[in-house]
């Protein structure tokens, strides 16, 4: 059943629309209520992941989508909170229905990381080959990318652009275009010209931010000097996100990578509002965003204990 207020697994995607589900909105600090970084994008008949941090595979399975429908992962960089769930998505996806090679695009070094994963899980895969009738789904391929178009098919285009995160620089943002709709995922970044150029006038900009430095220092128990380096030099302060949004003017801005506790959201939004008066949301896990003639934002209503979904079995059964 479709609702304007909540999203239920199995709801069809309108023709020409895109849908983005925030699988994880958190940080390297493990939290049961907030997975690390990961976005799930649906456009036309294609489905893909942008990053795959710890905790995101479980949020993906709660959407009750057959693994065989998702064989593309695009990584922004190699910090653990952005790639730490890739192995589970790869092998868990194979053992529960993916019968195609999992393809991974990432910055330089991704091919080496995937090669190491093959070695780490060699015994795991060999033992499962005795049970499963096909080996194809156990395959994983990686491509190291630079700036430019990474993949284009059926009117969908995925473009990478370099952003400024932490030296040595090897971090990218991602833009997806489809049927006149557009979104940008910043990955982890400071305010930078490349992101502003790519995000200007998009429908959806998902941009990272850390809490205001004083709040972060107090909540995390870090010295103010260290907190300032993390929150304002390696990441983007909420005030600076407001500046980015003001310069790009997306139809909707969403902030992720935030400790989105109730007593953090208020101070963060207050800083954003110092420079931006447009529509903006603090992201939460399983926030569903429909990019169409209107921008709809809804929470997904899901089971905490879903069963695997086959192509021949509808979601919710």
Express each pLDDT in 1-10 by its tens digit: 345 799 999 9
Q: How far is CA 22 from the centre of its chain?
A: 6
What single-letter DSSP state applies at residue 109?
Answer: T
Q: How confident is the model at residue 135, as a pLDDT?
A: 65
Q: Is residue 304 part of a domain?
A: no
CA–CA distance, 140 with 260 (Å, rounded to integer): 34
Q: How confident is the model at residue 1, as a pLDDT?
A: 39
Q: For 111-136, what is each residue's pLDDT tens digit?
A: 999 999 999 999 999 999 888 766 67
Residue 85: give its domain's CATH number. Answer: 3.60.15.10
Q: Is residue 316 part of a domain?
A: no
Tokens of 221: 């128990």
Q: Is residue 262 part of a domain?
A: yes
CA–CA distance, 84 with 54 (Å, rounded to integer): 5
Angle between helices 262-273 and 238-248 (to 10 degrees): 50
Number of domains present in the structure of the chain:
1
Its domain, for residue 276, covers: 18-299
Question: Which pLDDT band, with edges at 50, 70 and 90, does 313 fall under?
Answer: low
Q: Is residue 171 part of a domain?
A: yes
Mean pLDDT lowest among 77-81, 134-138, 162-166: 134-138
Q: How confident is the model at residue 133, as a pLDDT?
A: 66
Q: Please give the torsion angle defined by the CA atoms of residues 165, 149, 72 and 251, in that order, rounded to the nearest 10 degrees.
A: 70
Entry pTM = 0.95
Q: For 132-147, what is each residue's pLDDT tens digit?
A: 766 678 999 999 999 9
CA–CA distance, 180 with 168 (Å, rounded to integer): 35
Q: How high is the mean pLDDT of the chain? A: 94
Segment 206-223 mean pLDDT:
96
Segment 196-200 mean pLDDT:
98
Q: For 222-281, what is each residue's pLDDT tens digit?
A: 999 999 999 999 999 999 999 999 999 999 999 999 999 999 999 999 999 999 999 999
Q: Is residue 7 part of a domain?
A: no
Q: Is residue 11 part of a domain?
A: no
Q: Is residue 62 part of a domain?
A: yes
Q: For 16-36, what is each residue's pLDDT tens digit?
A: 999 999 999 999 999 999 999
For residues 160 and 174, is the Cβ–Cβ distance under 8 A? yes
Q: How confident is the model at residue 185, as a pLDDT?
A: 98
Q: Is residue 1 part of a domain?
A: no
């Amino acid at each position: 059943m479709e609702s304007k207020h909540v999203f239920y697994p199995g709801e069809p995607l309108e023709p020409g629309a895109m849908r983005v589900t925030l699988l994880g909105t958190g940080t390297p600090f493990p939290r049961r209520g907030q997975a690390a970084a990961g976005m799930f994008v649906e456009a036309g008949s294609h489905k893909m992941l942008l990053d795959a941090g710890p905790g995101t595979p479980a949020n993906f399975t709660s959407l009750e989508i057959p693994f065989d429908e998702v064989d593309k992962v695009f990584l922004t960089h190699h910090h653990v909170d952005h790639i730490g769930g890739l192995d589970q998505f790869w092998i868990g996806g194979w053992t529960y229905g993916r019968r195609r090679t999992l393809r991974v695009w990432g910055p330089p070094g991704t091919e080496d990381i995937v090669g190491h994963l093959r070695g780490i899980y060699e015994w795991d895969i060999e033992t499962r080959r005795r049970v499963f009738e096909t080996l194809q789904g156990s395959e994983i391929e990686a491509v190291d990318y630079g700036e430019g178009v990474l993949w284009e098919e059926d009117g969908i285009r995925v473009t990478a652009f370099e952003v400024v995160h932490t030296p040595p620089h090897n971090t990218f943002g991602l833009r997806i275009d489809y049927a006149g709709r557009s979104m940008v995922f910043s990955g982890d970044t400071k305010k930078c010209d490349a992101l502003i150029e790519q995000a200007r006038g998009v429908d959806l900009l998902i941009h990272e931010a850390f809490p205001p430095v004083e709040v972060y220092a107090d909540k995390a128990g870090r010295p103010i000097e260290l907190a300032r380096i993390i929150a304002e030099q390696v990441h983007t302060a909420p005030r600076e996100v407001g500046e980015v949004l003001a310069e790009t003017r997306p139809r909707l801005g969403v902030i992720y990578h935030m400790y989105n506790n109730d007593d953090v959201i208020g101070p963060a939004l207050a800083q954003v509002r110092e420079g931006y008066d447009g529509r903006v949301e603090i992201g939460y896990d399983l926030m569903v965003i429909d990019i169409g003639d209107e921008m709809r934002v809804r929470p997904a209503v899901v089971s905490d204990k879903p069963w695997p979904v086959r192509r021949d079995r509808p979601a919710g059964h």
